[in-house]
Structure 1
Amino acid sequence: MVTPLAIYTGHQYEVSLEEKELRRRLTHQLSHQETDTLLFLSLNLKNTLVTSLDKLSTIIPLTRVKEVHDNLTTLYKDLKALYKTSLDLEHAIDKETD
């Protein structure tokens, strides 16, 4: 009568250990993904957007063709919104990981 209970308890303990190990690995992977995302946002995306916005801000006033000027202005606004969104995302990830 004790043997089946011991087998069941032992099995439950093994399952518990496997779940703890899986949780540890997933937490570790999530931490790496958060770090990679923050690095991408802070180093690549934001710098590229700032450079693009700077270049556009110098090109737009020089453009004489109204249609091109309007399209560049729209592009500038879209990039500016994307930059703001990247900042919001970076802050949200920072807040979640703290």
Structure 2
Amino acid sequence: MSDPRLDIKYDWRLRLEVYCTKNGIDEPKYSTFSDRRGGRTAWSCHVIVHGTTFAARYWFDGDFVQNAMEDAAEVALKVLDSKSCQQPSQGPPSGAVP
């Protein structure tokens, strides 16, 4: 999946969708939001997977809000992958938003 206008590949979102499907989890829910910074507006994203919210690490210009969604998907997938490898006695994985 890609957007030819911006030459963006949606690899992380697609991989997260596949992960959810494979594990019987509802599809990810994305929420983008903005923050006015000086004369510009920065955008970021949260994604909710199986009741846990994962935040993108970075803020992006409005033309690149898709990148914020990719970033949130990457964070979620990396945490979920590490969580599946954790022992049950360990605490919650880092990266999740409380």
TM-score normalised to structure 1 length: 0.32
Q: Which has the higher contact order (CA 8 A, sep 6+)?
A: 1
Determine which structure has the larger strand proportion and give its number: 2
Mark the structure with the bigger radius of gyration.
1
